[in-house]
Amino acid sequence: MKDIFIDTDERLDTVPGTDLSLIQKIDGTAFAIDTLLLANFVRFNKDMNFAADLGSGSGILSFLVKYRNPRLQVTGLEVQETFHELSQRNLELNRKFSDIAFEHLDVRDVPARLLPESFDLVVSNPPYFQMGNGRLPQRPGRAMARHELNGTLKDFVEAATYLLAYGGKFCLIIPSSRFYEVVEYLKAGNMGLKRLQFIIPKEGEKSHLSLIEAERFFNGKHEPMPSITIHMADGSFSDEMKHLFTAGLKKEK
């Protein structure tokens, strides 16, 4: 492994169940379970060639999508210069992953910079909280990653709609409280809900996150999937999560 500079506010993490190592910030923006769940949720078609990651941060989701499907050419789009630079260093750290690129780009500027219908798959772990909702973190990086300071959920959906060709897939994870809101945004962009999976934080509790797959111009019934429970009542990880942490993400054959 090539020696890569790691700053005092950073650490080197290994993604559970993989041989992928990434530099992460220790300010609360390091990848979490939601990113692993989203990467594992994605289904690939044989004719998928180009994937975009909206709000790519340090690059974790882009790398995981590429890890699962090495055939893809993946482009990550990130507005924060700090995290764009970090994704470039992670690319240097993982040179075995070819055909990954990261661009410093605001999702709201996608139509001015990229060609329409140029991707087969778009993935995103967008900011969860609307402006004015929840306490804004003091650290700017985390604040922008978790709150709609640089683009709303609607902006992310519109960017995905613009980028996807007919039949293209959009996979994202959102708070369950915003499910009906995002469905309206998808409808406005002729995106049909195709798969839905709820995430339950602890056994016996309500869903707090939703995994969604939408397809461009899909007009059929969606596939409801069994919910995923993260923690059992005693606080231990569920068997499903233990399997994800040990066996890792399922690679495409």
Domain boundaries, the chain: 10-247
The DSSP line for 95-161 is TT--SEEEEE--GGGHHHHS-TT-EEEEEE----B-TTSSPPPSSHHHHHHHBTTS--HHHHHHHHH
Provide the CATH topology of domain 10-247.
Rossmann fold (3.40.50)
- State mean pLDDT over 43-68: 95
What are 240's two structure tokens?
């499903």
Q: What is the pTM of this model?
A: 0.89
Dihedral class, residue 70 (left if φ above 0, else alpha if ψ from -120 to 50, else beta): alpha
Amino acid at 15: V
Q: Is the pLDDT of residue 137 over 60?
A: no
What are 60's two structure tokens?
């974790």
Q: Which of 164, 216, 166, 165 is nearest to 188 (CA)?
A: 216
Q: Is the pLDDT of residue 143 over 60?
A: no
Q: What is the pLDDT of residues 97-132, one digit of tens each?
A: 889 999 999 999 999 999 999 999 999 999 876 665
Taking the C-alpha atoms of residue 44 and residue 199, their distance in angstroms, rounded to an integer, is 21
Residue 136 pLDDT grade (very low, low, confident, very high; cuts 50, 70, 90): very low
Amino acid at 109: D
Task: Return mean pLDDT, the chain.
Answer: 89
Residue 4 pLDDT grade (very low, low, confident, very high; cuts 50, 70, 90): low
- State mean pLDDT over 212-229: 95
